[in-house]
């Protein structure tokens, strides 16, 4: 067992690389739920528009509700005229 520790620590000492998180993201935060601590953050104090995160959370919530049986993949929803005009939504009926 002592040999394993020796090899491990020798590797750590001789290693020239720093084990850091690198990302091209403008902002990021990595949170450990077990220890309730932030492991990594990058520009976490800057305010940004949450468009991508809101899309991800909408999809997450929709699939959660499908899994719970409250929604179905066959359900239909009304889309506002304003949203329909933006062109994001295809193959839906316009609301009045």
- What are the structural domain ranges in the chain? 20-49, 50-96
- Asked whether the whole model's pTM tops 0.75, one would answer no
Print the SS3 string covering 26-55. CCEEEEECCCCEEEEEECCCCCCCCHHHHH
Instruction: Give me the mean pLDDT over the 15-40 stretch.
Output: 79
Q: Note the pLDDT tens digit of each residue in 2-20.
A: 666 566 556 556 555 555 7
pLDDT tens track for 83-95: 777 765 555 555 4
Give dist(CA 83, CA 9) in Å, integer.
Answer: 58
Burial class (CB in 10 A: 0-12, 13-18, 19+), 34: exposed
Q: What percentage of the chain has pLDDT greater than the value 70? A: 66
Residue 17 pLDDT: 53
Q: How far apart are CA 34 and CA 37, in angstroms?
A: 8
Percent of the chain with pLDDT over 90: 11
Higher pLDDT, 38 or 21: 38
Q: What average pLDDT is seen over the chain?
A: 76
Residue 63 has pLDDT above 70, yes or no: yes
């Amino acid at each position: 067992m002592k040999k394993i520790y020796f090899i491990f620590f020798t590797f750590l000492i001789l290693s020239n690389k720093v084990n850091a998180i690198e990302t091209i993201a403008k902002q990021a935060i990595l949170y450990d739920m077990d220890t309730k601590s932030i492991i990594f953050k990058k520009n976490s104090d800057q305010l940004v528009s949450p468009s991508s995160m809101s899309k991800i959370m909408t999809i997450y919530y929709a699939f959660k509700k499908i899994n719970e049986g409250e929604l179905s993949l066959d359900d239909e929803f009304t889309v506002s005229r304003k949203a329909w005009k933006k062109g994001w939504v295809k193959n839906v009926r316009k609301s009045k």
